[in-house]
Amino acid sequence: MRILGGLLLLFAFLSVHSQSTERKDLVESHFTYSFSGATDQQQLDKLEQGMYQIKGITEVKINYKWDSGMGQLFCTRVSSPRIGETVEEFNPADIKRLISELGLAPVEFKEL
């Protein structure tokens, strides 16, 4: 019985330890993309949903000024560190295409 309890405790410790070390290997990047154009809340919601379809995007926030028709998209991307050429590269053109498809004009992309 003691052996079983010890094995369960060891398994629980190793599970928690492996999860915490996996998280340390990830790299978090922050980006912003400004855009312009008249839109409505439904289009902004579609933009947010589309952003989450891009691989690695974990957080999205959109600030839009209704009076000026200008907006800014903030996003966070989590990825593995680059090792060799096997890592899929992030492409800001995916965000630009998404903004354009919703009838908005992409203005400027920045890595924060």
Residues 36-47: tens digit of each pLDDT? 999 999 999 999
* Closest by CA position to 75, among listed 105, 97, 53: 53
Residues of the chain with pLDDT under 50: 20-22
4 within some domain? no
19 within some domain? no
75 within some domain? yes
Q: What is the pLDDT of residue 74?
A: 97
pTM exceeds 0.85, yes or no: no
Question: 71: domain range?
Answer: 26-111
Q: What is the pLDDT of residue 91?
A: 87
100: domain CATH number? Answer: 3.30.70.100
70 within some domain? yes
104 within some domain? yes
β-strand pairing of 105-111 with 57-65: unpaired
9 within some domain? no
How many domains does the chain divide into? 1
Check if the beta carbon of residue 22 is closer than 8 Å to that of residue 71.
no
H or E stretch covering 14: helix 2-24
The residues with which 35 forms a beta bridge, in sequence order, are: 71, 106
